[in-house]
Each structure stands twice: as structure tokens, then as C-alpha cells.
Structure 1
Amino acid sequence: MREVAFIKQNKEKWLDFEAVIFGKAKKNPDEIAGLYIHLINDLSYAQTYYPKSKTVVYLNYLASQIYQRIYKTKRHEKNRLLYFFSEEVPLLVYQYRRYVLYAFLLFFMFVGIGVLSAMYDDDLSRLILGDAYVNKTLENIKDGDAVAIYKSGSNWGGFFAITINNLRVGAMCFIMGIFGGIGTFYVMFKNCLMLGSFQYFFYEQGVFWESVRGIWIHGSMEIFAIVIESAAGFILGASILFPQTFSRINSLKIGFRNSFKIFLSTVPFTIAAGILEGFVTRYSLEMPNWLNVVIILSTLFAISFYYLIFPFIVAKKLKSIPQIA
């Protein structure tokens, strides 16, 4: 059968599936399961005879959404929050894994640009970090405490101020994706440039290890979360630029809903980073080296496992779910 005839023959049925996905039609779990079986058959046929067609992408998406609706219905009665973090977000991260990859590639590239720029421009650190911060930090380095600036203020005051700022930065990385991803690109570039020049500044002053011991206690989760939030912004932008077989407005609705869930999942990590910065970082130089290393590696492993490894475990466990390539 020619693809045009295949689409014409099944178009009305697929529109019914869309109505279920977008909540325009009500069906019980058994009826949805029946739709899912029909859809899998159509998907298998399309993958066999039109493997490079947009029809496959479209049916792939419908099948994954129908499956999640079936599974979600079964799990809602148990614990919605547990389902959100243990399956819904990991499946979304797996589904959009290429955007996570893009975000990390850009992160390392932009940080590298920041390091190289600071290396060849002595004034860059002052331009980006500000004279007040640089001068104060230079005084602290002379006094033997490179990260003393993180000890100012109270524990709770520092925690609230830092967490609110980090949430704001993360929200900007995400929501600026509405401008086709360009806004997210800009916010990410600015923050990565700052990070690169910031770390080179400490390296240049001969206190790189002292800065790592202190800053990356909270920085591991804080910076990693910003990369994931940037990936969410790129997903949002891509939903506008590349609607595929959907109307642009429906593509935006889907992209916003899915990317917002990924962004929302970073909030606990950002709060945890704020707690560490407010209550632990200030004692970093008094701690033994091994304890600093353990905290840094533990926090980095926790967030890396959740976003880079766990999605593949969940997807493999639910291997019957079709995934968007």
C-alpha cells in the first residue's frame, strides 16, 4: 500500500487517538488499551514499509503517549509524586535524550571558551565577576582562605538567597527557550563563560584545589541542574521550530508540557545545592580532603545517575514502550 493511501485509510482513527491524548475525548483504560494495540500494529506496518517517513515519527509519539496514559492510570492511585520522579521524568529524559546531549556539549564548549578567554585576557575576570568580587577574593587568598566569601552571612540567609537565585537562573534557562531556543543559548553561554573565567581565576592565583574543595561541594548539583534546565529550554524551542506532523500550537503545547516536567524535576537538586552552599561549603577548608571529595563525588553521582543512567534503566524495564528516536 502506498503511504498516502495508508494515511488516508487510518487518519480518522489517529485523530481519535490525539483526542484521547489531549483530553478531548474520555475513554476508560480498557478502551485506551485497545487503541494502543491498534496503534502498535499501524506503527509496525509503517516502520516496515515507510521507515524514514514522518508517519513513523508521528505514530511513535502517539504510541508512547497512549502507553504512558495507560500506565499512569494504573499508578495514579498509589503515589503520583513517586510516579513522577521514578518513571514519568526518566521516560521523558530518555525520549529527549539528544537534547540533554546537546546541552552538555554546549556546556563544555562554552566553559572552554570562558577558560581560554580568561587565559588571554587579564581583564575578563573583572569584567564578568566584577571588581568588588575579584578584589575581595584576592584579599581572602592572601589571608589563606580562598572561599571565605561563601562564609559571609548566616546559614539560613545564605541558603535562601542562593537557592532563590539558582531557581531564577534555572527558570531563565528553561523559559527563554520560548524564543526558539536562542534565549536559552544566550543564558547558558553567559553563565558558562562566567564559570570558565571564574575557575581560571582561581587557577591563576594558585588556589585551584582550594576552590574545587569548596565551590564544587554545592556546584556539582547546581551546575548539572542548570545544564538539564537548558536542555528543557532547547526542547521547548525545538517544539516551536520543528513541529513535525503537528500544528505549531499543538507541538508547542506538547513541548511545553514535557519540558516543564523535566525542568520541575531539577528543583529538588537545586534546593539541595542551596542547602550545601548555605550549611556545608563554609566549612570546606576545615574538613579533611577525603570528606570534601566524598561529598563532591556523591552529589555528582546522585544527579548524574538520575539524568544520565536511570532513564535508560526505566526505558529498558518498560521495553514495550515505543520511543522517539
Structure 2
Amino acid sequence: MREVAFIKQNKEKWLEFEQAIFGKSKKNPDELANLYIHLVNDLSYAQSYYPKSKTVTYLNHLASITYQKIYKTKREETNRIVYFFKTEAPLIVYQNRRYVLYAFILFFLFVGIGAISAANDGSFVRLIMGDYYVNMTLENIENGNPVAVYKSGSNWGSAFVITLNNLKVGLLSFASGIFAGFGTGFVLLKNCIMLGSFQYFFYEQGVFWESVRGIWIHGAMEIFAIVIEAAAGFVLGASILFPKTYSRVASLKIGFKNGLKIVLSTMPFTFAAGMLEGFVTRYSPDMPRILNIFIILFTLSLISWYFLIYPFVVNKKINKANVSTL
């Protein structure tokens, strides 16, 4: 059967299923289960005969969402929080992986712009960071401790203030997506230019690696989380620009819900980064270099695995579960 004929033959059924899983029409559990069986049959057929088609992507998306609805009450998943972090959030990240990619591309681009601007304009870092902060950092460098700023304040006080600020930045980045994603892009641009220019400033002063040893102890998770939160903002923006088969209002609701869940999934890492900044970073100049490197690589590996690898693992598992129901 040609793909066009396959779509034409099943389109009404799929639209009915869409309405059922997104609450536009009421279906009892038996009716939903029956529709689900038909859906995975169609998915299996499409995977066999149109493997590279957008039809497969569409059907897999519907099947994945339904899997969440049907299986989230399974006995081993009675803890809603465990289910959220173990299955739901990674699956949403997988379904929106293109926006994660876009966020990382923009991250590296904007950081590069910040570094190049600082390299070509001696006053750029002062313009971005302010005279007070730059002068204080220069004084710290002269005293042999480039990251002495992290020693100010108490452990708990610093951790609390820093965590609160990072949560604020993450939520602002997501909420700014309501402006068709451009607001999120601006927030990301601002933070990345600051990062790029400041890191170049340390390089220019000859203490780049000393700064890395301190800043990236907490920065690996903190900055990575900001990029993921930007991806959530792009999900929200895309829901307005590209509603697909939904009305724009319905698409916005779905985009807001999915984006917010992505943001919520970053919060444990944001809290962990705050604790590291408040309790560990201040001791970075005195700790063994190998310990510095281990903490940075471990935290970076952990958050990278959760957002870049684990979502594919969850999706693969769900696909196998879908096939097994045939």
C-alpha cells in the first residue's frame, strides 16, 4: 500500500485517538486500550514499510504519550516523583530533542561571540560584568586566588542565594519562550556572552585553568541546566509558531506543559550546583587537582547522561513495549 493511501485510510482513526488522549473526547479504559492496540499495529506497519517517514515519527509520538497514560499507574511506578524523573521527563526530552540541539548550538555560538568580543575590545568585559566585579577579580588574581569571590558569605547563605538566582534564570528563560522563542534566545544570549567574555578575561590574565578548576565545579551542572531550560523555552515558542494539527491554543497548552516538565527535571541539578557552589567551590584552590577534575567530569557526565543519553534509552524501552503488545 502506498503511504498516501495508508494515511488516508487511517487518518480519522488517528485523529480520534488524538482527541481521546488529549482529553478532547471521553473514552473509557477499554475503548482507549482498543484504540491503542490499533495504533501500535499501525506503528508496526509504518515502521516496516515507511521506516524513514514522518508518519512513523507521528505514530511513535502518539504511542509514547499513551504509554505514559496507561503505564504510569503500574505497581512499580506508584511513586509519581520517581515516575516523572525515571520515565516521563526523559521521554519529553527525547520527543523535543531537536530543541535541545538548537539550544546547544546557540549556546556555543553565543559563548564564542562573548569570547571574541572580549578579545577584540578591552572594555567589553567591564561593559558586561561591571567595573566593580572586574576590579575585585583583578585584585583576587593579584592575591593568587582568582575565584576568591566564591569564599564570600556563609556556606548555606551562598548556596541558598545562588540556587534561588539559578532557578529564577531558568524559569525566566522558559517563560520568555512565550514570545515565540525569541525571548528565550535573548536570555540565553545574555548569559552566554557573559560566560564567554569572563572566561576569556581569565585567559587574558593567565589564570584560565585556575578559573576552570573553580568555576566549573558547580558550573558543569549549572550551565548545562540553563541550556536545557532554554530548550524548554524553545518548545514553548515552537508550540505557538508550529501548532501542527492542533489549534494554536491547544498547541500552546501542550507546549507549556511539556516545557515546564523539562524545566522541573533540571531542578535537582540546579539545587546540586548551588550546594557545590556554596560548600565546595570555595575550597577549590586548596584541594588536589585530581579531585577538581573528578568533580567537574563526574557532574558533567551525570547531567549529560540524563539529558543526552538516557532519553534515548527510555524511548527504546517504550518502543519495545509497544511492539510487545501486538
How many Å apart are 1:110 and its aligned residue? 0.8
Secondary structure of 1:317's counterpart equals helix
Equivalences for residues 113-128 of structure 1 within 5 A: 113-128=113-128
CA distance in 2, matches of 1:73, 1:42: 25
1:97 — aligned with what?
97
Pairwise mapping of residues 76-91 of structure 1 onto structure 2 (< 5 A)? 78-91=78-91
- Relative to structure 2, which stretch is displaced further, 68-77 or 307-316? 68-77
Letter in 1 for 2:172: M
On the 8 A contact 1:17/1:35 being kept in 2, the answer is yes
Partner of 2:272: 272
Determine if the alignment matches structure 1 residue 171 to structure 2 residue 171: yes
Q: 1:110-259 residue pairs with structure 2 within 5 A?
A: 110-259=110-259
Answer whether contact 2:67 2:318 (CA < 8 A) is retained.
no
CA distance in 2 between counterparts of 1:75 and 1:199 reads: 49
Question: In structure 2, do the counterparts of structure 1 residues 105 and 157 end up closer, same or farther at CA, with 3 Å as the change threshold?
Answer: same
Structure 1 length-normalised TM: 0.91
CA distance in 2 between counterparts of 1:52 and 1:219 reads: 39
* Alpha-carbon distance, 1:28 to partner: 4.8
Query: How far apart in 1 are the matches of 2:21 and 2:214?
Result: 47
Secondary structure of residue in 2 paired with 1:146: coil
* Percent pairwise identity: 72
Partner deviation per Cα, 1:201-254 (whole Å, 9 max, x = no partner): 111111111111111100000000000001111111111111111111111111
Q: Which residue of 2 aligns with 1:303?
A: 303
Q: Is the 8 A contact 1:54 1:244 kept in 2?
A: no
Check whether the contact 2:159–2:278 (CA below 8 A) recurs between aligned residues: yes
Corresponding residue number in structure 1 for 2:312: 312
| Cα pair distance change 1:24/1:178, threshold 3 Å | same
TM-score, with structure 2 as normaliser? 0.90
**Deviates most, 187-196 or 22-31:** 22-31
1:7-18 equivalences in 2 (<5 Å) = 10=10, 12-18=12-18
Indicate the SS of the match to 1:153.
coil
What secondary structure, in the 3-state scheme, does the structure 1 residue paired with 2:65 have?
A: helix
Structure 1 residue 50: deviation in Å? 7.9
Please tell me the residue identity of whatever aligns with 2:89.
V
Is the 8 Å Cα contact of residues 58 and 245 (structure 1) preserved in structure 2? no
1:33-65 CA distance string (max 9 Å, x none): 211121233445667788888766554433332
- The secondary structure found in structure 2 opposite 1:73 is coil
- Uncovered stretches (5+) of structure 2, i.e. residues with no partner: none
**What is the rounded CA distance, in whole Å, between the counterparts of 2:161 and 2:49 in structure 1?**
57
Shift of 1:26: 4.5
For residue 142 of structure 1, what is the amino acid of its counterpart?
Answer: E
Distance 2:246 2:52 in 1: 17
Distance 1:50 1:247, change over 3 A: farther
Out of 52-61 and 290-299, give the one that drifted further: 52-61
CA contact (8 A) 2:126 2:134 kept: yes
Q: Which amino acid aligns with 2:96?
A: Y
Per the alignment, residue 289 of structure 1 pairs with 289
Contact 1:315 1:321 in 2 (8 A): no
State whether residues 32 and 70 of structure 1, in contact with CA within 8 Å, keep that contact through their aligned partners in structure 2.
Answer: no
Quickly say closer, same or farther: Cα 1:77–1:49, change in 2 above 3 A.
closer
Deviation readout 1:286-321 (Å, 9 max, x if unpaired): 111111111111111110111111111222222237
Tell me, in whole angstroms, the C-alpha distance in 2 between the residues paired with 1:46 and 1:40: 10
Structural RMSD (CA)? 2.4
Higher mean Cα deviation, 47-56 or 219-228? Answer: 47-56
> 1: distance between equivalents of 2:158 and 2:33?
51
Residue segments in structure 1 that go unaligned for 5+ positions in a row: none
- Partners of 1:240 and 1:3 in 2: how far apart? 29
Structure 2 distance, partners of 1:292, 1:101, is: 28
